[in-house]
Amino acid sequence: MLHTGKSADYVNLALKNGAVSLVINLGSGAFEALVEPVNGKFNDNAWHDVKVTRNLRQVTISVDGILTTTGYTQEDYTMLGSDDFFYVGGSPSTADLPGSPVSNNFMGCLKEVVYKNNDVRLELSRLAKQGDPKMKIHGVVAFKCENVATLDPITFETPESFISLPKWNAKKTGSISFDFRTTEPNGLILFSHGKPRHQKDAKHPQMIKVDFFAIEMLDGHLYLLLDMGSGTIKIKALLKKVNDGEWYHVDFQRDGRSGTISVNTLRTPYTAPGESEILDLDDELYLGGLPENKAGLVFPTEVWTALLNYGYVGCIRDLFIDGQSKDIRQMAEVQSTAGVKPSCSRETAKPCLSNPCKNNGMCRDGWNRYVCDCSGTGYLGRSCEREATVLSYDGSMFMKIQLPVVMHTEAEDVSLRFRSQRAYGILMATTSRDSADTLRLELDAGRVKLTVNLGKGPETLFAGYNLNDNEWHTVRVVRRGKSLKLTVDDQQAMTGQMAGDHTRLEFHNIETGIITERRYLSSVPSNFIGHLQSLTFNGMAYIDLCKNGDIDYCELNARFGFRNIIADPVTFKTKSSYVALATLQAYTSMHLFFQFKTTSLDGLILYNSGDGNDFIVVELVKGYLHYVFDLGNGANLIKGSSNKPLNDNQWHNVMISRDTSNLHTVKIDTKITTQITAGARNLDLKSDLYIGGVAKETYKSLPKLVHAKEGFQGCLASVDLNGRLPDLISDALFCSGQIERGCEGPSTTCQEDSCSNQGVCLQQWDGFSCDCSMTSFSGPLCNDPGTTYIFSKGGGQITYKWPPNDRPSTRADRLAIGFSTVQKEAVLVRVDSSSGLGDYLELHIHQGKIGVKFNVGTDDIAIEESNAIINDGKYHVVRFTRSGGNATLQVDSWPVIERYPAGRQLTIFNSQATIIIGGKEQGQPFQGQLSGLYYNGLKVLNMAAENDANIAIVGNVRLVGEVPSSMTTESTATAMQSEMSTSIMETTTTLATSTARRGKPPTKEPISQTTDDILVASAECPSDDEDIDPCEPSSANPTRAGGREPYPGSAEVIRESSSTTGMVVGIVAAAALCILILLYAMYKYRNRDEGSYHVDESRNYISNSAQSNGAVVKEKQPSSAKSANKNKKNKDKEYYV
């Protein structure tokens, strides 16, 4: 407020933290007084009266005439020297005034400013108002009391928000003060730097140095950082933490190399090293953080928050630079800064109470916000809501981030997730083109190993164990200078301290999968086979940044997405084929991994002999894996655990390990077997390691516990011998027999999800095909739309008529169709028998629900899905099967409904004549779309689209799209061959029934029968005598091949003959009929207690029909289009290098 004097002879009156401060010095030492109000503070926008009097050494100060403080100056000096200047309300450099406790100029109103002594009375405020020539006015001074412009606080709401201020010209002296308030532990509050210059340093010739100034928060502590070109100082401004949500006043004063940083009233002095006294700042002064586009910015390694991307979140107010106030609220508005709001309030509710972090993210309360740690979740985003990208590595793949400029850091935050079955492999490493500096994470014997080398030799930490279990694991590394912390999953963190004085890490690249920068490596870590996710380095999620194209400096050939990895597959085509490699190094411990696939029950996979009786063998015995070894105490056998034999032509993962405590572990896929052996602990192997077998004469001399009499026939892949990844062909000392790269044979086999939409997978040697009959879909994988017709307003009809001599009679029927409609009442499909017989089958909609009714000679039998509303305009698929009087119905993936009518039922649907689609004849015309109709081998809509001669179309019916084929030519040929070979005896198979019942969620559709039982009734045959075999058929002209869907295991289709042949057959049939009646009567007499007809045999159909098909087939629930496309693109889920 007022100052006169200089050097050690002065009076200074100021307002400090809302109290009145007086500092007076007569040349022999300062007298300091601080007058504070009882309640509140003096900056309350009210007038206050201040009087200071001195009589010789006695000094008295009073405020408002009540609060009085009296004291004495030091020693006996009683004369106050006069100066040429009085400063009222401020000065050009208030921080440099002697005795000044503040650095800001006064903002507010002053009146009646009077100074008097024995000689003179100066009414300073009156003289200034009158324009006295001795008075000089600087800045904006109004001679009336106006409302003072309040310096509103602002809140930085996100770490990305910041404000840029003009360049701070503080070469020799300067001051900055501000208030802040936060609960967050980390954040960059102020930063500016000067012009870059290259450091004269032989070790780091590319090191760029800059003058800089920064104030930052780390772990709740406030730090001042300053470098004027001759060395950096880093001062902790206060011993206590300052992130407790209270306001703190920070005051930074500088004069040349020395200065102070004070928090509230606690002052910490500093002196910069070296000789430079000039702080040459050339860039803007950033408040609260840094711009996202940091081009042109140079981050000194000492400013950890800048390199770790820690922006400040909290409040700032009363910013003064060199005594001049800065309206940061207005600056934020002008710069349209996102995430800055013009107020400061603290919410009482803790944000984490609402559990905002999804997918098990860890929540931390910040300043009016929540902060989610997503590192262990596999997700990214503010709330861990976005799934992180997975990268798949097969041992020859990598991702390399080539940073645009060389990086130098003293602090790093690294996290990643990995999944692997191998005990060795590089996860992540920083590498430099000019030095051995590295921060490296790798798998080493199933543990995570951290190596940090800053040029003076490596420091290592280990964490975790048995991490090669093919499960996701999370690794976190935190380095702060010399301090290291390594954490795996939620286990206890491992900590360490770096030796020596070096703390700076230099790197050009961040590498994964393979280390390509090997110039300074003494030993190269093993390449990685497995999956990586969520690699984050100092806040940068590099895998997702690369995938999304947000950065253009990443190079990679690793594959995006989670893929089953088959690395370097090799086929041993005969049982006499094998390779020899260098001796297996397994003296004290061992980690082996490989994948195999075979159809052979037995075979020697691996063999290495040693000194004395020492040896190791891995072999298949009757489809099961055996691990046999001798450490010198006699042979031991460990049988691998598996639910079924492993010669199922599927890939299996095998891990075999032995630790220094003689704990042997055999893991096959997910099943683990362990055994501890006593005695000798060393496996002393000599000679070559044989893979795939040995020479023929050697089998006789193999140890007794080894069963192998021949070699392994099949495929091996991903072979890992203690972290070494041999190329079985290139690295072989010699090869014998037929060995080829790749994996021949049926590498793609039927899986549950091979065919979409409940299509049936048909295994073939070179792959598989899908039968889409009961799906309404088509295409190779049953994920293409079936042939579709639209039935418009007014109704239309498609009619298929069997030729008169070619009308089938069936004991079992299968019907499937897809549709969409909004009608409550309609007939979709109706099948009728010849005129006068009365047999029929009708698929209809009644009151918005789908149902089927049929009659095969006894009564009308109905079955309906009452829970599913299907007239919602959405696409639905309905599947119906009949066996005699029993029936099943399924809509979409709802549970299968079964209908078993009571009493004895007739079973044969006689002499089927027409299939009518559209319901126009029945007076309930269908309106909507119908797709992919299948009935007993006929794809009627396909036939209609192909203009089949037996089909007539009338009314408003329109074809949509092309006609796809649901089975390949190859599968069709196979099916026809199978059909031709099926005997008539196999046509009695009854309906497959489902185990799914009401109340249970849908799991898998029951396996549909693979045969349509088709019998024939000629015009002369009795229409419905179920106890008499149908007429003996003879040759006839079959329906055109294009309409029928041949299917493996389907029954022979026997058609009606001409009348001449029929007479002959009739005579034979009549004789046979008499015999059968007699036999039947005897049978009924002996079994009269058996009750009504209820086809229990159909329960056995699942196994029978599967066997008749030559392979077990599986069906699944309809999958989404996305998964269907995925299956289509990568149906075998394997890739090779």
Q: Does the pLDDT value for residue 116 go beyond 90? A: no
Q: Counting Cβ atoms within 10 Å, is residue 666 exposed (0-12), middle (13-18) or buried (19+)?
A: buried
Mean pLDDT across the stretch 818-822?
95
One domain for residues 108 and 162: no
Q: Does the pLDDT value for residue 391 go beyond 60? A: yes
Q: Does the pLDDT value for residue 55 go beyond 50? A: yes
pLDDT (0 to 100) of residue 79:
56
Mean pLDDT across the stretch 191-208?
68
> pLDDT (tens digit, 9 = 90+) per residue, 686-741?
999 999 999 999 999 999 899 999 999 999 999 999 888 899 999 999 999 999 99
Give the helix/strand (H/E) hosting 307: helix 304-307
Q: How confident is residue 898, by pLDDT bands cut at 50, 70 and 90?
A: very high
- Report the domain count for the chain: 5
The per-type count for the chain, helices as H runs and strands as E runs, is: 9, 77
One domain for residues 175 and 239: yes
Domain annotation covers residue 366:
no
Classified as helix, coil or strand, 1061 is helix
Domain annotation covers residue 382:
no
Query: Cα separation of 488 and 466, whole Å?
Result: 12
CB 89 within 8 A of CB 82: no
Q: How many residues does the chain have?
A: 1137
Query: Cα separation of 875 and 853, whole Å?
Result: 22
> pLDDT (tens digit, 9 = 90+) per residue, 321-372?
887 888 898 888 899 888 999 889 888 888 999 999 999 999 999 999 999 9
One domain for residues 775 and 881: yes
pLDDT (0 to 100) of residue 1122:
41
Among 599, 625, 649, 596, CA closest to 708: 625
One domain for residues 552 and 525: yes
Classified as helix, coil or strand, 976 is helix
Q: How confident is residue 84, by pLDDT bands cut at 50, 70 and 90?
A: low
Structure tokens at 730: 């290139």
pLDDT (0 to 100) of residue 207:
62
Query: Cα separation of 180 and 313, whole Å?
Result: 10
Domain annotation covers residue 383:
no
Query: Cα separation of 941 and 829, whole Å?
Result: 12
Q: Does the pLDDT value for residue 1050 go beyond 80? A: no
> pLDDT (tens digit, 9 = 90+) per residue, 520-529?
888 889 999 9
pLDDT (0 to 100) of residue 295:
63
Domain enclosing residue 55, as ranges: 2-130
CATH number of 93's domain = 2.60.120.200
One domain for residues 575 and 550: no
> pLDDT (tens digit, 9 = 90+) per residue, 360-372?
999 999 999 999 9
One domain for residues 546 and 607: no
Average pLDDT, the chain: 82
> 574-596: buried (b, 16+ CB within 10 Å) or exposed (e) per residue?
bbbbbbbbeebebeebbbbbbbb
One domain for residues 1012 and 1128: yes
User: Of 516, 531, 560, which marks where a domain is finished?
Assistant: 560
User: Of 534, 560, 586, which marks where a domain is finished?
Assistant: 560
pLDDT (0 to 100) of residue 392:
94
One domain for residues 614 and 737: yes
Query: Cα separation of 594 and 725, whole Å?
Result: 10
Domain annotation covers residue 145:
no
CB 895 within 8 A of CB 778: no
Domain annotation covers residue 651:
yes
Output the CA torsion 64→70→74→79 (10° steps). Answer: 60
Q: Does the pLDDT value for residue 287 go beyond 50? A: yes
One domain for residues 333 and 427: no
pLDDT (0 to 100) of residue 1113:
38
Percent of the chain's residues with pLDDT above 70: 82
Q: Does the pLDDT value for residue 585 go beyond 80? A: yes
One domain for residues 909 and 1011: yes
Domain annotation covers residue 750:
no
Mean pLDDT across the stretch 617-634?
94
Structure tokens at 867: 């829970």
Q: Counting Cβ atoms within 10 Å, is residue 502 exposed (0-12), middle (13-18) or buried (19+)?
A: middle
Classified as helix, coil or strand, 384 is coil
CB 308 within 8 A of CB 185: no
Look at 1110 and 394; give whichever has higher pLDDT: 394
CB 961 within 8 A of CB 810: no
Long-range contacts of 859-867 (CB under 8 A, 24+ apart): 859/901, 859/905, 861/885, 861/887, 861/899, 861/901, 861/905, 862/899, 863/887, 863/888, 863/889, 863/897, 863/899, 864/889, 864/897, 865/889, 865/890, 865/891, 865/894, 865/897, 867/894
Look at 484 and 1104; give whichever has higher pLDDT: 484
User: Of 97, 130, 163, which marks where a domain is finished?
Assistant: 130
pLDDT (0 to 100) of residue 831:
96
One domain for residues 315 and 282: yes
One domain for residues 117 and 22: yes
Residue 150, C-beta contacts closer than 8 angstroms, at least 6 positions apart: none
Domain annotation covers residue 518:
yes
Q: Does the pLDDT value for residue 849 go beyond 70? A: yes
> Residue 546 carries which side chain, given as an amino acid letter?
C
Among 641, 652, 657, CA closest to 424: 657
User: Is the C-alpha dihedral spanning 1122, 1128, 1131, 1134 positive or negative?
Assistant: negative
Q: How confident is residue 1046, by pLDDT bands cut at 50, 70 and 90?
A: very low
Domain annotation covers residue 370:
no
Q: Does the pLDDT value for residue 1017 go beyond 50? A: no
pLDDT (0 to 100) of residue 1081:
66
Q: How confident is residue 49, by pLDDT bands cut at 50, 70 and 90?
A: very high
3-state helix, strand, coil in the chain (%, to 5): 10, 40, 50
pLDDT (0 to 100) of residue 1023:
42
Look at 802 and 1006; give whichever has higher pLDDT: 802
